[in-house]
Amino acid sequence: MNAIKSILPFVFILSVIQFSAQDLTVVPRPNSVHWGEGSFSLSSAVTIRADKALKNELRHLSNFLQKGFGEKPRENKRGGIRLKIDQTLAEKNEEGYQLEVSQNGIVIKGASPTGVFYGIQTFRQLLPPEFESDDKSTAVDLPSVTITDEPRFPWRAFMLDESRHFKGKETVKKLLDQMAYLKMNTFHWHLTDDQGWRIEIKKYPKLTEIGSFRTDTQAERKSELRTGEPHSGHYTQDDIKEIIAYAKERHINIVPEIEMPGHAMAAVAAYHWLGTLRTTKEVPVTFGKMDDSFDVTDPKVVSFLKDVLDEVMNLFPGQVVHIGGDEVNFEPWLQNEHMVEYMEAKHMKSPMDLQISFTNEISNYIDKAGKRMMGWNEILGHQVHEDRGTSGTVSEKLAPSAIVHFWKGDLSLVHKAVEEGYEVVNSNHWDTYLDYTYQRLPLEKSYAFDPVPEGLKPEYHSQILGLGTQMWSEWIPTVESMERQIFPRLAAYAEVGWTEGEHKDYQAFQNALEGVQYTWGQNGIHYHQEE
Ligand code: TNX
């Protein structure tokens, strides 16, 4: 009886998706879909098989089928579902895949395990979302189809700020699951900021002993109201390793962010000699742009930062290390006698020159470790903050290997950066900030975002690596409040990063989103719904 009940919705939904490619309900929307004749009946009797290099992917597939059918599928040479590496697909895109459903079975091929993994995510979404519910299924009829798909951009990132409000391992894993489901490949982990240092650094234990703890928290924007509760939390290096491994299984690279020279007050509270003001004694309990920053003219401070980066680069296997670089208040630098003397001795024309020259030293240091530095677009030296005086004359030039993370200022700055040869990730705040309300950044606007700014000459397009969407966490103390800011906008950004502009279709996205939202509901994820 139960089995019959659970098949009914499948028959209905599947008969709908058989009509035309328009009805394919997969997010992000695949780039090429060809419907065939006939169908494949998927049941608990289905066997699976994979190339040796695809053990991890086979496990994901097996777990998924077990969830739906209530029993583990058998592995068998003839395999009703086959996972294969196909080098010929590499010519196009390492992350691409082909998914073929025919009367004879299902084949998922990729040039790399990553491609196959993404093929499995599409397969998941081809099934009715109820498949992943607690009601066990007996069979699903899948229409014959060939999907050939690859991402538009290599950088499809989600950023979580854990400094302002720490969320912890289980929440991060849940988010990584959702990123993988939506084929996002970069988790940008904002681990340090003024209001909390969240990563254990063995050489400097006070960073977490003192810097991960604050006594209170501002409760509302522009308000004196405080929660009255202390807030703390950090990741040990073992925790970090666990998360890295979890992300790797889901083909997600983690880009750690260690902010410098600004957004540094939690570190300064731990080791007072790091700061420029000499007055920072505690981790701030309020939010907004702060005044203190690392004193980058002191060789001891620069050595400290290199020591921190050594541990970070040792931990994280990825190529890119984010060093922040945004919103430095230069006023205290200009008030600090010894910093002014340093700038004069080095013939620096402005504090911006000092920031760039420091950033270049760090960039060279990261290059030497075989990695690459990334920073918010202030590191280019342009004036982007109206409220912070002028940067003055800037004569230093950012190191060419740096990846520019555009978030603020005129779009012409993106044009300029790529023309000067830089690679850029576009996170324009108007279009990608998940802390913004849905009124200010509605789903449709998120969906419409194009990381390649209008009018950019085609020869520069490949320098736009992709996009990031950012969950700044000042005003999301709880997981639920965070989830409502992230979902469903994350799905829109996944499609922005994956689907070619000509294949994007907001109506189709909204239809497909219904299934995705059902799955979120099943996984206990809160999402915002339009009124
Ligand atoms: C600006 S974006 C910041 C963050 C804040 C965010 C709030 C960026 C590089 N800096 O420190 O959390 O605005 O929207």
- Using one digit for the tens of pLDDT, what is the confidence trace for 255-291? 999 999 999 999 999 999 999 999 999 999 999 999 9
The residue among 149, 165, 185 that closes a domain is: 149
Is it the case that residue 165 has pLDDT exceeding 70?
yes
With a CB cutoff of 8 Å and minimum separation 6, the contacts of 288 are: none
pLDDT at 19 over 50: no
Model confidence at 17, in pLDDT bands (50, 70, 90)? Answer: very low
**Is the predicted pLDDT of residue 320 greater than 80, yes or no?**
yes
Q: Which of 257, 328, 429, 441 to mutate to test the pocket of ligand 1 (most atoms within 8 A of CB)?
A: 429
User: Which whole number is the average pLDDT over 334-359?
Assistant: 96
> 160 C-alpha to center of ligand 1: Å?
12
Q: Which of 168, 173, 232, 167 is nearest to 197 (CA)?
A: 232
Q: Do 170 and 110 fall within a single domain? A: no
Same domain for 276 and 421? yes
Mean pLDDT of the chain: 94
332 in a domain, yes or no?
A: yes
CA distance 337 to 295: 12
Same domain, 142 and 243: no
Query: Ligand 1 pocket test: which of 326, 380, 388 has the largest number of ligand atoms within 8 Å of its C-beta?
Result: 326
- The three-state secondary structure class of 399 is coil
- Is the residue at 369 inside a domain? yes
Q: Cα of 326 to ligand 1 centre, how many Å?
A: 8
- CB neighbours of residue 14 within 10 Å: 17
Model confidence over 112-149: pLDDT tens digits? 999 999 999 999 999 999 998 888 888 999 999 999 99
Q: How many residues are present in the chain?
A: 531
What integer pLDDT is reported at residue 385 of this predicted model?
A: 86
What domain range includes position 355?
A: 155-498
Amino acid at 107: V
Per cent of the chain over pLDDT 90 is 90
How much of the chain, in percent, has pLDDT values that exceed 70? 95
d(CA 235, CA 168) in angstroms, rounded, equals 8
Distance 473 CA to ligand 1 centre (A): 9
Tokens of 233: 């939390």
Strand 105-110 with 97-102, pairing: antiparallel
Give the model's pLDDT for residue 133.
86
* Same structural domain, 105 and 177: no
Ligand 1, atom nearest to 436 Cα? 14
Give the orientation angle of helix 489-498 with respect to helix 169-181, to 10 degrees.
Answer: 50
Q: Indicate whether 32 and 166 sit together in one domain.
A: no
Buried b / exposed e along 36-69 (16+ C-beta atoms within 10 A): eeebbebebebebbbbeebebbbebbbebbebbb
Q: Would you call the peptide bond into 332 cis, given omega within 30 degrees of 0 as the criterion?
A: no
Residue 504 lies in a domain: no
Q: How far apart are CA 82 and CA 48, in angstroms?
A: 6
Side-chain half-sphere CA neighbours of 400 within 13 A: 3
For residue 501, the tally of other CB atoms under 10 A from its CB is 9
CA distance 359 to 374: 10
- CB-count exposure of residue 1 (10 Å: 0-12, 13-18, 19+): exposed
The β-bridge partners of 149 are 97
Note whether 421 and 476 are same-domain residues: yes
Q: Phi/psi zone of residue 272: left (φ > 0), alpha (ψ -120 to 50 degrees), beta? A: alpha
> Which one of 88, 123, 149 terminates a domain?
149
Domain for residue 519, yes or no? Answer: no
Residue 126 belongs to domain with CATH number? 3.30.379.10
Residues 138 and 169 in one domain: no
Cis peptide before 488 (omega within 30 of 0): yes
**CATH number of the domain within which 374 lies:** 3.20.20.80
pLDDT in tens, 479-498: 999 999 999 999 999 999 99
Binding site membership of 326 for ligand 1 (Cβ less than 6 Å): yes
Using the atom order of ligand 1, give the atom closest to the CA of residue 429: 2
The mean-pLDDT minimum among 31-40, 48-57, 85-94 falls in 85-94
Name the domain boundary from 97, 128, 149.
149
Does residue 190 fall inside a structural domain? yes
Distant-in-sequence, close-in-space partners of 418: CB < 8 Å, separation ≥ 6: 424, 456, 460, 463, 464
Look up the pTM and report it.
0.95
Residue 12 predicted with pLDDT over 50: no
Q: Mean pLDDT, to the nearest integer, of 461-489?
A: 98
Angle made by CA atoms 186, 190, 193, in degrees to the nearest 5: 165
Cα 254 off chain centre by? 8
Confidence bin at 9 (pLDDT 50/70/90): very low
Short-list 104, 101, 107, 96, CA closest to 146 = 101
145 and 159 housed in the same domain: no
Residue 506 counted as domain residue: no
Ligand 1 atom with the smallest distance to the CA of 164 is 12
User: How close is the Cα of 388 to the center of ligand 1, in Å?
Assistant: 15
The reply to whether ligand 1 has any atom less than 6 angstroms from the CB of 131 is no
Co-location of 370 and 224 in the same domain: yes
Residues 214 and 347 in one domain: yes
126 neighbors 178 (Cβ within 8 angstroms)? no
CA 259 to ligand 1 center in whole angstroms: 12
Looking at the structure, do residues 75 and 187 belong to the same domain, yes or no?
Answer: no
Instruction: Name the DSSP class of 330.
Output: -
| Ligand 1 midpoint to CA 524 (Å) | 28
Q: How far apart are CA 215 and CA 335, in angstroms?
A: 29
CA distance 531 to 516: 19
Average pLDDT over residues 233-248: 98
Beta carbon of 472 within 6 Å of any ligand 1 atom: yes
DSSP assignment of 435-504 equals TS-TTTS-HHHHHH--SS-TT--GGGGGGEEEEEEEE--TT--SHHHHHHHHTTHHHHHHHHHHS-GGG-
Answer whether residue 57 is part of any domain: yes
Ordered DSSP codes for 230-277: -EE--B-HHHHHHHHHHHHHTT-EEEEE---SSS-HHHHHHSGGGBSS
Residue 389 is predicted with a pLDDT of: 61
Residue 387: inside a domain, yes or no?
Answer: yes
Note the pLDDT of residue 92.
76
Q: How many domains does the chain have?
A: 2
- Cα distances (Å, whole numbers) of residue 58 to 75, 126, 195, 248, 271: 9, 18, 42, 15, 48
CA distances from 418 to 41, 152, 356, 455, 527 (A): 50, 18, 18, 13, 36
**pLDDT tens, position by position, 413-461:** 999 999 999 999 999 999 999 999 999 999 999 999 999 999 999 999 9
The helix/strand count (H/E) of the chain reads as: 17, 19
Q: With bands split at pLDDT 50, 70 and 90, how would you rate the model's confidence at 391?
A: low
Does residue 367 register a pLDDT over 50? yes
**Residues contacting 183, CB < 8 A, separation 6+:** 28, 118, 121, 151, 156, 494, 497, 498
7 and 75 both lie in a single domain? yes
Would you say the CB of residue 257 lies under 6 angstroms from ligand 1? no
Round to the nearest angstrom and report the end-to-end CA distance of the chain.
Answer: 37
Alpha carbon of 357 to ligand 1 centroid (Å): 23
